[in-house]
Amino acid sequence: MSRTVEHFTTAAAALSFRTGCWIDGRFLPAHDNARFETINPATGEVLADIARGKAADIDLAVASGRKAFRSRVWSGMTPAGRKTILLRLAQLLRDHLEEMALLDTLDVGKPIADTLSIDVPGAADILQWHAEALDKIYDEIAPTGGRDLAMIRKVPLGVIGVVVPWNFPLDLAIWKIAPALAVGNSVVLKPAEQSPLSALRLAELAAEAGLPEGVLNVVPGLGHEAGQALGLHQDVDCLAFTGSTETGKRFLRYAGESNLKPVWLETGGKSPSLVFPDADLEAAAEKAAWGIFFNQGQICSANSRLLVHESLAEDMIARLKSKAEALAPGNPLDPATLLGPMVSNEHADRVAGFIQSGREHAHLVAGGSQISVGRSRAYVQPTVFANVPSDCLLAREEIFGPVLAIQTFKDEDHAVALANDTVYGLAASLWTRDLGRALSLSERLEAGTISVNTVDALSPMTPFGGLKQSGYGRDLSLHSFDKYTALKTIWVKY
């Protein structure tokens, strides 16, 4: 029998939340005992009071990570040993599937159907992939000749700061900590203040898997306190960040003001989906709806701009109107719900502001309303605008909500010009049956991933990241290990 909303409601009520900072293998209160609330956006109710880490707590966590790194309890372990522990952690995520899924569903409003089938299994799979890959990374020998041996080693950097957003709390934490830990670093993770619960439970499961004390520390807190302290810290060797472009620029300034730590950024997006007359229009419409409405549109690579050939405009607008109106926001603990609330009332207000602005410049096709349920006003209808001018906020700003902007193009050159007319370059989709067009336009589109006849193609085998102001960091694939290692040359004369 499939699980019901009553089952998940009962299971959620029975959860025990971890609320302290996880430092040196144990939960601690914040240094000054400060706390902040994490709120269920579906109800507006407080879930828990969480330790509000600040600079003193970051100092303690970094010192713990440095001590573990220098002791070589983890960095000096054989690759096979690290692999075993990380694989054990991946299995623990699977063993605690429902618990971890509920934590993210409660914290950020993600539908339980998604966290159960996509988020937690995906996090476990990506952790397993990096664990399986770590003992297949080889060092090099330079062809010096003579009585010289020049070895080029890939060595861990030391203490890695990781700052992740709230839209995929567990997944994006794993994207960064998996390769960082795999190559032998220590990690200090700062989860988003809206979504600390799964990160704190992850740390506890990592200890259960056998990760040594101090190798993974988690400090919840506010961005301008804990996040800033991590960015400015003189003893953090590298910082990996996913979030807004504005905040990413701030971390670059922090690096310049402190120790010139490398900062790997994956930031905003305004991704286009281009539909040509020879495309499978129903498939394109179905994926266009998924590409903007999945996760309530709270995805950096969401295909928020639909660019259609002018001959298709009426047809595609009708298809998207129908698909948007078939989706209704609902209780995220109901397995039938496809669309939950936004992460907070404040974020829903921001999205509603963009919708109101859009009404003044474009044609509202579907949706457009913000919905209140009890103390929550975080629900926003799937919204579609047509006839969107290129200089309109709908076409230029990252809304981070379920709002689709439809524009038309005349020919290939016009389509590419519209697609590239953005400061972002994270992803793009292209719909055509013409292989030559697909390949030639893929070369011209300015984005880190081009998905042909699909949307947001993703795998741990391929790198994820962007161009322009979408940042330059790459998560996933073998390339993800590069961020967390340095090349060291050891030259021996004999």
Q: Which residues are catalytic?
A: 266
The whole-angstrom separation of Cα 428 and Cα 302 is 9
Q: Exposed, middle or buried by CB within 10 Å (0-12, 13-18, 19+), for 291?
A: buried
The whole-angstrom separation of Cα 354 and Cα 406 is 15
CB 281 within 8 A of CB 312: yes
Closest CA to 466 of 480, 448, 479: 448
DSSP string covering 378-413, please?
Answer: EEE--EEEES--TTSHHHHS---SSEEEEEEESSHH
- Report how far Cα 149 is from the mean position of its chain's Cα atoms: 42
Coil, strand or helix at 191: coil
Q: In 10 A of CB 281, how many CB atoms?
A: 16
The whole-angstrom separation of Cα 409 and Cα 203 is 49
**Furthest C-alpha separation in the chain:** 78
Coil, strand or helix at 350: helix
CB 390 within 8 A of CB 362: no
Per the structure block, which two tokens stand in for 334?
A: 């109901």
Backbone angles phi, psi at 327, to 5 degrees: -105, 125
Write b or e for each residue in 436-465: b if 16 or more Cβ atoms lie within 10 A of its Cβ, otherwise e: ebbeebeeebbbbbbbbbebbebebeebbb
